[in-house]
């Protein structure tokens, strides 16, 4: 029998200066760079983090400061997931390639699962990224619900 009880949640306030992850699969890196170019001034007002080559290309080619993590297949997706669970990430821009098989596909699925679980806004293409980045909430504080991890752990320890 599945557990259908409501999940305990708490409130989290996202800061006005968002922490934004920028990730792109190889076949989508050029598209992400073009998107970042269009939104360069807006993104410059926020803290950026990215995986591997994506972060280094954005920094080198566009002059934006991007905290670079490992490449996705080497653990970068998991590093982004850690930032989500530690509540150190506010938005995820992930241009993933639906046509290219990825050897680290389980890591990608886990990252997207964490983003959904922790209520992180996610954009997976230029159109959805445009909507996120142009949101009136981008440069304002925003209050949202996230799982109450402490209550979840306490509940599981009594089982």
Catalytic residue among 26, 67, 77, 105: 77
Do 143 and 12 contact (CB within 8 A), yes or no? yes
**How far is the CA of 135 from the CAs of 4, 18, 43, 146, in angstroms?**
33, 12, 13, 20
Pairing state between β 9-14 and 142-147: antiparallel
Is 77 one of the catalytic residues? yes
Contacts of 55 (CB under 8 A, 6+ apart): 22, 48, 49, 66, 67, 68, 69
Annotated catalytic residues are: 77
């Amino acid at each position: 029998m599945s557990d259908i009880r409501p999940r305990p949640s708490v409130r989290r306030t996202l800061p006005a200066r968002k922490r934004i992850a920028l990730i792109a699969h190889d076949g989508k890196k050029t598209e992400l760079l073009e998107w970042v170019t269009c939104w360069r001034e807006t993104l410059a007002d926020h803290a950026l983090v990215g995986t591997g080559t994506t972060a280094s290309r954005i920094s080198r080619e566009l002059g934006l400061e991007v905290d670079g993590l490992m490449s996705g297949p080497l653990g970068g997706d998991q590093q982004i997931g850690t930032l989500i669970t530690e509540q150190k990430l506010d938005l995820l821009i992930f241009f993933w390639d639906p046509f290219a098989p990825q050897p680290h596909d389980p890591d990608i699925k886990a990252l997207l699962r964490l983003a959904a679980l922790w209520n992180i806004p996610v954009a997976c293409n230029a159109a959805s990224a445009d909507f996120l980045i142009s949101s009136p909430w981008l440069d304002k504080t925003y209050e949202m619900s996230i799982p109450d991890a402490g209550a979840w752990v306490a509940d599981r320890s009594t089982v």
